Amino acid sequence: MNTVTRFCLIRHGETDWNVARRLQGHTDIPLNEHGLKQAELVARHLPEHPFSALYVSDLTRTRQTAAPLARRTGLLPMATPALRERHYGVLQGLNPEEMARDYPQETRQYHQRDTGFTGGTGESLQALHDRITRLMQKIANQHRGEFVLIVTHGGVLDIVHRWISEQPLHAPRTFPIPNAALNWLSHSPARGWQIDSWAEQLHLDTALDEL
Protein backbone atom coordinates (compact mmCIF):
# COMPACT_ATOMS: atom_id res chain seq x y z
CA MET A 1 0.00 0.00 0.00
CA ASN A 2 1.36 3.43 -0.98
CA THR A 3 1.64 5.63 2.11
CA VAL A 4 3.58 8.53 0.54
CA THR A 5 1.51 11.69 0.18
CA ARG A 6 2.81 14.16 -2.40
CA PHE A 7 2.06 17.85 -2.33
CA CYS A 8 2.36 20.64 -4.86
CA LEU A 9 2.23 23.99 -3.08
CA ILE A 10 1.76 27.12 -5.18
CA ARG A 11 2.01 30.75 -4.18
CA HIS A 12 -0.67 32.93 -5.76
CA GLY A 13 0.10 34.90 -8.91
CA GLU A 14 1.30 38.48 -8.92
CA THR A 15 -0.80 41.37 -7.56
CA ASP A 16 -0.33 45.11 -7.82
CA TRP A 17 0.55 45.14 -4.13
CA ASN A 18 3.34 42.63 -4.79
CA VAL A 19 4.75 45.05 -7.35
CA ALA A 20 4.40 47.98 -4.93
CA ARG A 21 5.96 45.90 -2.11
CA ARG A 22 2.96 46.40 0.18
CA LEU A 23 2.32 43.87 2.93
CA GLN A 24 -0.93 42.25 1.86
CA GLY A 25 -1.64 39.95 4.77
CA HIS A 26 -5.40 39.46 5.08
CA THR A 27 -6.18 42.39 2.76
CA ASP A 28 -8.17 40.91 -0.11
CA ILE A 29 -6.22 42.06 -3.18
CA PRO A 30 -6.95 40.48 -6.60
CA LEU A 31 -4.40 39.31 -9.15
CA ASN A 32 -3.20 41.82 -11.72
CA GLU A 33 -3.11 40.99 -15.44
CA HIS A 34 0.32 39.38 -15.17
CA GLY A 35 -0.83 37.30 -12.20
CA LEU A 36 -3.85 36.02 -14.13
CA LYS A 37 -1.54 34.90 -16.95
CA GLN A 38 0.72 33.18 -14.43
CA ALA A 39 -2.27 31.28 -13.06
CA GLU A 40 -3.16 30.03 -16.53
CA LEU A 41 0.42 28.91 -17.14
CA VAL A 42 0.55 27.02 -13.85
CA ALA A 43 -2.52 25.03 -14.83
CA ARG A 44 -1.36 24.48 -18.41
CA HIS A 45 2.02 23.07 -17.38
CA LEU A 46 1.10 21.22 -14.21
CA PRO A 47 2.45 17.64 -14.42
CA GLU A 48 -0.09 14.90 -15.09
CA HIS A 49 -0.51 13.47 -11.60
CA PRO A 50 -3.77 12.02 -10.24
CA PHE A 51 -4.46 14.88 -7.83
CA SER A 52 -7.28 14.08 -5.44
CA ALA A 53 -7.75 17.41 -3.62
CA LEU A 54 -7.28 21.15 -4.18
CA TYR A 55 -6.97 23.24 -1.01
CA VAL A 56 -7.04 27.02 -1.39
CA SER A 57 -6.75 30.01 0.92
CA ASP A 58 -10.08 31.81 0.98
CA LEU A 59 -8.62 35.15 -0.20
CA THR A 60 -9.30 36.37 -3.75
CA ARG A 61 -5.74 36.19 -5.06
CA THR A 62 -5.42 32.51 -4.21
CA ARG A 63 -8.89 31.60 -5.43
CA GLN A 64 -8.14 33.31 -8.76
CA THR A 65 -4.88 31.38 -9.02
CA ALA A 66 -6.68 28.12 -8.27
CA ALA A 67 -9.50 28.63 -10.79
CA PRO A 68 -7.55 27.39 -13.87
CA LEU A 69 -6.23 24.47 -11.82
CA ALA A 70 -9.78 23.52 -10.92
CA ARG A 71 -10.77 23.54 -14.59
CA ARG A 72 -7.70 21.49 -15.53
CA THR A 73 -8.10 18.84 -12.80
CA GLY A 74 -11.88 18.84 -12.34
CA LEU A 75 -11.38 19.31 -8.61
CA LEU A 76 -13.55 21.57 -6.47
CA PRO A 77 -11.34 24.16 -4.70
CA MET A 78 -11.76 23.81 -0.94
CA ALA A 79 -11.55 27.34 0.50
CA THR A 80 -9.53 27.02 3.70
CA PRO A 81 -9.13 30.08 5.97
CA ALA A 82 -6.27 28.34 7.81
CA LEU A 83 -4.20 28.72 4.60
CA ARG A 84 -4.41 32.52 4.76
CA GLU A 85 -1.38 34.76 4.81
CA ARG A 86 -0.19 36.07 8.16
CA HIS A 87 -1.99 39.14 9.49
CA TYR A 88 0.64 41.87 9.92
CA GLY A 89 -1.23 44.15 12.31
CA VAL A 90 -0.47 47.87 11.96
CA LEU A 91 2.04 47.17 9.18
CA GLN A 92 -0.53 45.56 6.92
CA GLY A 93 -1.13 47.51 3.72
CA LEU A 94 2.06 49.57 3.98
CA ASN A 95 5.12 49.66 1.72
CA PRO A 96 8.65 49.66 3.20
CA GLU A 97 8.96 53.45 3.24
CA GLU A 98 5.62 53.92 4.97
CA MET A 99 6.44 51.20 7.50
CA ALA A 100 9.76 52.81 8.47
CA ARG A 101 8.23 56.30 8.64
CA ASP A 102 5.06 55.51 10.58
CA TYR A 103 6.05 52.50 12.71
CA PRO A 104 9.85 52.43 13.14
CA GLN A 105 9.90 50.18 16.21
CA GLU A 106 7.41 47.71 14.77
CA THR A 107 9.31 47.70 11.48
CA ARG A 108 12.55 46.80 13.27
CA GLN A 109 10.81 43.92 15.03
CA TYR A 110 9.33 42.74 11.74
CA HIS A 111 12.69 42.77 9.94
CA GLN A 112 14.41 41.11 12.90
CA ARG A 113 11.82 38.30 12.62
CA ASP A 114 10.84 38.62 16.26
CA THR A 115 8.82 35.41 16.65
CA GLY A 116 6.41 36.97 19.13
CA PHE A 117 5.78 40.21 17.24
CA THR A 118 2.12 40.73 16.28
CA GLY A 119 2.04 44.34 15.10
CA GLY A 120 -0.49 45.01 17.81
CA THR A 121 -3.51 43.41 16.15
CA GLY A 122 -1.92 40.75 13.96
CA GLU A 123 -0.43 37.26 14.17
CA SER A 124 3.03 36.32 15.39
CA LEU A 125 5.44 34.16 13.42
CA GLN A 126 5.11 31.49 16.10
CA ALA A 127 1.33 31.50 15.85
CA LEU A 128 1.54 31.30 12.05
CA HIS A 129 3.96 28.39 12.36
CA ASP A 130 1.62 26.53 14.69
CA ARG A 131 -1.41 27.16 12.47
CA ILE A 132 0.28 25.97 9.28
CA THR A 133 2.09 22.95 10.65
CA ARG A 134 -1.10 21.66 12.28
CA LEU A 135 -2.97 22.07 9.01
CA MET A 136 -0.30 20.38 6.89
CA GLN A 137 -0.19 17.39 9.22
CA LYS A 138 -3.99 17.17 9.14
CA ILE A 139 -4.07 17.21 5.32
CA ALA A 140 -1.32 14.58 5.14
CA ASN A 141 -3.27 12.30 7.46
CA GLN A 142 -6.46 12.73 5.44
CA HIS A 143 -4.81 12.06 2.06
CA ARG A 144 -2.30 9.31 2.74
CA GLY A 145 -0.84 7.97 -0.49
CA GLU A 146 -2.46 10.68 -2.66
CA PHE A 147 -1.44 13.79 -4.63
CA VAL A 148 -2.63 17.09 -3.17
CA LEU A 149 -2.63 20.64 -4.60
CA ILE A 150 -2.43 23.65 -2.27
CA VAL A 151 -2.64 27.30 -3.38
CA THR A 152 -1.55 29.70 -0.67
CA HIS A 153 0.72 32.65 0.23
CA GLY A 154 4.40 33.53 0.57
CA GLY A 155 4.35 33.67 4.36
CA VAL A 156 2.80 30.23 4.52
CA LEU A 157 5.42 28.79 2.19
CA ASP A 158 8.15 30.40 4.29
CA ILE A 159 6.85 28.52 7.33
CA VAL A 160 6.54 25.22 5.46
CA HIS A 161 10.11 25.36 4.14
CA ARG A 162 11.60 26.29 7.52
CA TRP A 163 9.58 23.61 9.30
CA ILE A 164 10.65 20.78 7.01
CA SER A 165 14.27 21.92 6.62
CA GLU A 166 14.54 22.65 10.36
CA GLN A 167 15.52 26.29 9.95
CA PRO A 168 14.66 28.65 12.83
CA LEU A 169 11.85 31.14 12.41
CA HIS A 170 14.05 34.09 13.34
CA ALA A 171 16.83 33.38 10.81
CA PRO A 172 17.09 35.34 7.54
CA ARG A 173 15.43 33.57 4.63
CA THR A 174 17.84 31.63 2.41
CA PHE A 175 15.37 30.39 -0.22
CA PRO A 176 13.13 32.09 -2.82
CA ILE A 177 9.33 32.14 -2.83
CA PRO A 178 8.32 33.35 -6.31
CA ASN A 179 4.76 34.02 -7.37
CA ALA A 180 3.17 31.06 -9.16
CA ALA A 181 6.15 28.72 -8.71
CA LEU A 182 5.70 25.00 -7.98
CA ASN A 183 6.98 23.64 -4.66
CA TRP A 184 6.93 19.85 -4.19
CA LEU A 185 6.82 18.09 -0.83
CA SER A 186 6.25 14.52 0.28
CA HIS A 187 5.23 12.90 3.53
CA SER A 188 5.23 9.32 4.74
CA PRO A 189 4.86 7.80 8.23
CA ALA A 190 8.29 6.20 7.90
CA ARG A 191 10.32 9.16 6.59
CA GLY A 192 8.31 12.16 7.73
CA TRP A 193 8.34 15.36 5.66
CA GLN A 194 10.70 16.08 2.77
CA ILE A 195 11.19 18.91 0.28
CA ASP A 196 11.50 17.24 -3.12
CA SER A 197 11.79 20.36 -5.30
CA TRP A 198 11.42 24.07 -4.57
CA ALA A 199 10.54 27.18 -6.57
CA GLU A 200 10.18 25.55 -9.99
CA GLN A 201 9.60 28.34 -12.53
CA LEU A 202 10.35 26.82 -15.91
CA HIS A 203 6.66 27.01 -16.85
CA LEU A 204 6.81 30.78 -16.26
CA ASP A 205 10.26 31.49 -17.69
CA THR A 206 9.64 29.86 -21.04
CA ALA A 207 5.93 30.20 -21.63
CA LEU A 208 4.82 33.77 -20.98
CA ASP A 209 4.41 34.36 -24.71
CA GLU A 210 1.91 31.51 -25.00
CA LEU A 211 -1.04 33.59 -23.79
Task: Give the domain CATH number at 51.
Answer: 3.40.50.1240
Name the catalytic one among 12, 161, 187, 203. 12
Range of the domain at 192: 5-210
One-letter amino acid for residue 115 of the chain: T
What pLDDT shows up at residue 82? 98
Q: 3-state class of 178 per DSSP?
A: coil
* Cα of 101 vs its chain's centroid, Å: 28
Would you call 12 a catalytic residue per the annotation? yes
Nearest by Cα to 92 from 17, 14, 25: 25
Q: State the catalytic residue, choosing from 14, 85, 123, 146.
A: 85
Q: How far is C-alpha 80 from the geometric centre of its chain's CA atoms?
A: 12
Q: Hey, what amino acid is at 155?
A: G
Give the pairing type, strands 192-200 and 51-56: unpaired
Measure the CA–CA gap between 115 and 112, rounded to whole angstroms.
9
* Contact in structure between 104 and 51 (CB atoms under 8 Å): no
pLDDT at 200 over 60: yes
Task: Specify the pTM.
Answer: 0.96
- What is the distance between the alpha carbons of residues 206 and 98, in angstroms, rounded to a whole number? 36
85 is catalytic: yes
What is the predicted pLDDT for the residue at 205? 79
* pLDDT surpassing 70 at residue 207: no
Three-class secondary structure of residue 188 per DSSP? strand
Query: What total number of domains does the chain contain?
Result: 1
Query: Does residue 209 surpass a pLDDT of 80?
Result: no
DSSP label at residue 177? -
pLDDT at residue 7 tops 70:
yes
Structure confidence at residue 208 as a pLDDT band (50, 70, 90): low
What are the pLDDT digits (tens) for 109-119? 999 999 999 99
Distance (Å, whole) CA 132 – CA 138: 10
Each residue's pLDDT tens digit, 79-123? 999 999 999 999 999 999 999 999 999 999 999 999 999 999 999
Query: In the predicted model, what is the mean pLDDT of residues 114-142?
Result: 98
Q: What does the chain come to in residues?
A: 211
Q: What proportions of the chain, in percent to the nearest 5, are helix, strand and coil?
A: 45, 20, 40
Q: Give me the amino acid identity at 78.
A: M
Percent over 90 (pLDDT), the chain: 94
